[in-house]
Structure 1
C-alpha cells in the first residue's frame, strides 16, 4: 500500500507527517503544528489528519505522541468527545413522509443545548443503574477529594444529554436504504470543568518550572510523569472519557426508545460502534510505550470500526481501520472546519444554509449557521486524502439532524 502522507516539517528531531493532499491547510495550523513538534518530549513524529485546523494549544485533527509528559490543552476541554452509531432493521420506506414529528420526538427524549435547558432534572432508573455499574460517581468523588473545584452536580443531570455546538443526533440511510442512528457528544459540563481546571493547573506549574527549552505557547503547558498532578490528570481524564462513552450509550438508548414508540417494530442489526476522538491513552507503537493524544482523530487499528461524520448536509462514513503505523493507527474525526464560527456566521446566508440542507429535516435558523456545510471541508476530499488509513464500510446520508 502506498502512503498518502507528506512531510509538512522535517527539520529538527520531530517530523510532521500529514495526510493533507487535496484539502486546505491554514498557515496558522501549520505554525501550531511546528510549535507542538518543537517540544523535546513529543515524538517520534506528529501525525496530521486531513480534517486538521487551528485549535487551542494543539491543532484539531492531530495525533500527538509524548514520552513522559502530558499536555492537558492538547486533549482539550471536550474530553472523550466522540461518535456512536448503530444500524437497525428499519428501512427508508418505514419512515413517515414528514419527518418533523420524528425530530421533535427525539428532541423531547434527549435534552439538547447548553445550560439548564440541556439538563435532566431527574433521570430514569435505567440511567442511574448505568452510572452505578460504571462506578462513575464513586470515582469522581475520589477525584474531588483531591481537587474540590471539580463539582459532581452535573453528572446525573447531564448523562444522556447532547450539549450544543457541533454535537448532533441523526437518523441516516446507508447505501441499501437501511436506517441508522448516529450521534456525536462528549463528557458535557463535568468533562469541560476537568479540562479547564487541569489546563489552568498546568499553566501554574509552568510558572514554577525551570525549562531547558523554549515553550512557544503557554497552552502547551504540561505535567511530567512522576509528578502528583500527572497522575491526578490521568485519573480525571480517564473518568471523563468513560463518562462520555456512557453518555453516548444512554442517548442511543433514549433515541431508540423514541423510535420504538413511533415506528414499526425493529431490531438492531449490529453492536453499536462507539469511539472517542478527543482523548489520550497509553499505547505501544514500534515497541515504544507512548502517551498518544488524539485531538480530533479516531483510532484506526487494523479491522477496528470507526465513524467519520461529514456536516449537516453531507455524507458520513462507517470505516474500518487499515492499521497504518505512520498515522499511529489513526484517521480523521470528520470533515474539519474551513471557517471559524464567527466567519461562518458572517459569511453564510440563511438561504445558502437552507439550500444546503434541503434534503434533511433539521434546524434552518440562524442559530446553526456556524454548523452549515459550507463551514466545513469537502468530506469527499478528506476521505480521499486518507485512503491508506481506512476503508469505507458504509456510506450514510442523513435524513434527520438534531442540533443543540
Structure 2
C-alpha cells in the first residue's frame, strides 16, 4: 500500500518478554508459540504435537489466536519440506480480509446507520443467499468482469473429482459474503477517519475443493499410519500434489475476486451517502493459504491457517469480533515466526457453547453502539465467544507494528 496512512500508534517493537515459547512434547522442539500452552485447549496442543511429528514438517509457528481446528489448529503456520497437508490450509481456501480508508470522517456519518446497513445487505448477499446470476457489480465493472471471465474459463480445468457440477453455484456466489465469522463493517480509526472492511473467502467452491482433496489424500499409502487421518499430506513430484495445488491456487484467486467484488459493491453503497468520497488503495490479506517460501536455507511450502503474512513492511488486517473493532498492522519480517502474525482474535469457545453461555441481552450489551443484528442467528458470534483482541495484539509486538486501531460502527453478518 503506497497511500499515506494515519499516524501510527505508539507501539513497542521490541520482542515480547514471554514469546516465543516451546511446546512440551513436540518433536525436536520445532514448535514455537506466541501463546502460553496453559492458555490453549489440550486438544489443540495435541494437534500441534501431531503436526510437529510428521516426517515432512520443518517447523510449526503458533499465533496468539490459536484454537482447535479440523486436523490442524486455526492460528498455525506450518512449514513442510516437499509436502503439504490440506487440513493445514483449511476448508475455506483463500479466506481473508480487505479494507480501504476513505476521506469521510465519522462526524459526517448519519446518526442512525440502520438504512446504510439495510442497503449493504440488499447489495451483497449474506448467509446462504447468492446472486441469481453473475453479480451485477461484476457485469458492470470492466476489470472485475475480465477477472471473473478468466477465472471461470479455468473452472473446467479443476481437478477435484466431480467438481464440474458446481460451476453455476460458484458463479452465483462470487460477490457474496457467506455466514459464520464473515462480516462487512464500517469502522473509524483514532483520527475519526472512516474505513470500509470485509472478511470472506472462497465460498462453497473452496470448501468443496478442500474436502475432496482431503478425502483423496487419506487413501494414499504414505498417509495410512498417521496419528490423525485429517493430517494426510500430498508429497512433491506426484500427480496428487500437482492436482491439489492447481485447484488450491484457483480457489485463492476466487477468494480474492470475491472480496474485490464485494468491496466494489460496498463502495457503491457508501457512495449513495457520500457521492464525492475518495478511497485509498485497498489492503488485501489472505489468512488460509499456501505459499512457497525459504527459511533456514530450506525451501518449504508454508501453510497459514488463520494467520497472515507479516513480511517486512507488508500491511495486514487483524480483526476482532462483531463490536470489538480491528487493527491495521505492518509486518516486521520476523523470520522466527516465518514472517507471520495472527489473523484475528480467535475463538475461545465453540459456537455451541457460546449459544449455551450467552443470552440475547448479553449480545445487545456487548454490541452496544454498533449498528448490527442482535438476534439469535448471530448469538454464536458474540464478542464474548472470542479472545481479547488487545491481548492478542500485545502478544505479537515482535511480529507486527500497529498502524491504526479501528472501532466498529456498523457490522453486517450472514
TM range (shorter): over 0.9
SS of 2:196's equivalent in the other structure is: strand
Q: Distance in 1 between matches of 2:185 and 2:60?
A: 33
Aligned position for 2:120: 106
TM-score of the pair, normalised by structure 1: 0.94
User: Contact conserved, 2:190 with 2:404, CA < 8 A, in 1?
Assistant: yes
1:2 aligned onto 2:15: yes
Aligned position for 2:5: none
C-alpha displacement at 1:189, in angstroms?
1.2
Q: Distance in 2 between matches of 1:278 and 1:11?
A: 23
Q: Distance in 2 between matches of 1:23 and 1:236?
A: 38
Match of 1:13 among 28, 32, 35: 28
Aligned position for 1:178: 193
Q: Which deviates further from its counterpart, 5-14 or 214-223?
A: 5-14
Q: Distance in 1 between matches of 2:340 and 2:26?
A: 23
Aligned position for 2:207: 192
Q: Distance in 1 between matches of 2:145 and 2:42?
A: 44
C-alpha displacement at 1:94, in angstroms?
1.5
C-alpha displacement at 1:52, in angstroms?
0.1
Match of 2:96 among 63, 72, 82: 82
Match of 1:119 among 131, 135, 152: 131
Q: Distance in 2 between matches of 1:210 and 1:296?
A: 24
User: Contact conserved, 1:92 with 1:179, CA < 8 A, in 2?
Assistant: yes
SS of 1:118's equivalent in the other structure is: coil
Q: Distance in 1 between matches of 2:317 and 2:223?
A: 42
1:389 aligned onto 2:399: yes
Match of 2:82 among 34, 53, 68: 68
1:142 aligned onto 2:157: yes
Q: Distance in 2 between matches of 1:120 and 1:298?
A: 33
Aligned position for 2:41: 26
User: Contact conserved, 1:111 with 1:120, CA < 8 A, in 2?
Assistant: no
Q: 1:369 to 1:209 in 2, by over 3 A?
A: same
Q: Distance in 2 between matches of 1:175 and 1:11?
A: 42
1:379 aligned onto 2:389: yes
Aligned position for 1:57: 71
SS of 2:43's equivalent in the other structure is: helix
User: Contact conserved, 2:161 with 2:212, CA < 8 A, in 1?
Assistant: no
Q: Deviations over 1:294-339 (max 9, x none)?
A: 0000000010000000111212100000011110000000001011
Q: 1:22 to 1:266 in 2, by over 3 A?
A: farther
User: Contact conserved, 2:223 with 2:229, CA < 8 A, in 1?
Assistant: no
Aligned position for 1:159: 174
1:354 aligned onto 2:364: yes
User: Contact conserved, 1:23 with 1:381, CA < 8 A, in 2?
Assistant: no
C-alpha displacement at 1:392, in angstroms?
0.3
- Within 5 A, what are the aligned runs for 1:162-311? 162-205=177-220, 208-209=221-222, 214-268=225-279, 270-311=280-321
C-alpha displacement at 1:13, in angstroms?
3.0
Q: Distance in 2 between matches of 1:126 and 1:394?
A: 33
User: Contact conserved, 1:22 with 1:381, CA < 8 A, in 2?
Assistant: no
Q: Distance in 1 between matches of 2:200 and 2:104?
A: 24
C-alpha displacement at 1:148, in angstroms?
3.2
Q: Distance in 2 between matches of 1:131 and 1:341?
A: 37
Q: Which deviates further from its counterpart, 354-363 or 8-17?
A: 8-17
C-alpha displacement at 1:137, in angstroms?
1.1
SS of 2:210's equivalent in the other structure is: helix
Q: Deviations over 1:121-158 (max 9, x none)?
A: 342223685253362112221115x7433431222211
User: Contact conserved, 1:9 with 1:15, CA < 8 A, in 2?
Assistant: no
Q: Distance in 2 between matches of 1:180 and 1:129?
A: 23
Q: Distance in 2 between matches of 1:22 and 1:7?
A: 9
Unmatched runs of 5 consecutive residues or more in structure 1 = none
Q: 1:277 to 1:330 in 2, by over 3 A?
A: same
1:40 aligned onto 2:55: yes
Q: Distance in 2 between matches of 1:72 and 1:215?
A: 14
